Amino acid sequence: MAPGTADAVVSSLVLHQMPVREKAATLRAMFAMLRPGGRLVIADYGRQHGLMRLAFRLTVQRLDGIDDTRPNADGVLPGLIAAAGFRHVAETFRLLTITGAIELLTAHRPAQAQGLTVANDLG
């Protein structure tokens, strides 16, 4: 598939297993694959609170390691998504599981380049 042609990119339970640098690079690659106006949908472990943080520590972090999973538990994904160039980043659903809270995050690639000026010679 050529860059800039996908209508949507979906990721499910992948990013929490990556170092932050790889999370950011993956999000930039997802951005590049989307056409202007395309949609990003991510289901992954997000910010963990209270008992969900404990469940996450006892399960996911034991299996996948603390260094790569802690940033997700601290809530870094929305900021990384925005830093990759996406707009309208939103948590649209939160599912509490026995292993921790999973977030459904959505965002869009801007429909047109930001900060460009259009010139005309009318008038």
CA atoms within 13 A on the CB side of 3: 5
For residues 24 and 27, what is the distance between their CA atoms, to the nearest angstrom? 5
Long-range contacts of 25-30 (CB under 8 A, 24+ apart): 27/80, 27/81, 27/83, 27/84, 27/86, 28/84, 28/85, 30/84
Domains of the chain by range and CATH? Answer: 14-108 (3.40.50.150)
pLDDT at 1: 84
- pLDDT tens digits, the chain, 123 residues: what are they? 899 999 999 999 999 999 999 999 999 999 999 999 999 999 999 999 999 999 999 999 999 999 999 999 999 999 999 999 999 999 999 999 999 999 999 999 999 755 544 444 454
Do residues 96 and 48 touch, judged by C-beta distance below 8 A? Answer: no
pLDDT at 113: 58
Q: pLDDT of 7-41, one tens digit each?
A: 999 999 999 999 999 999 999 999 999 999 999 99
* SS3 state at 33: helix
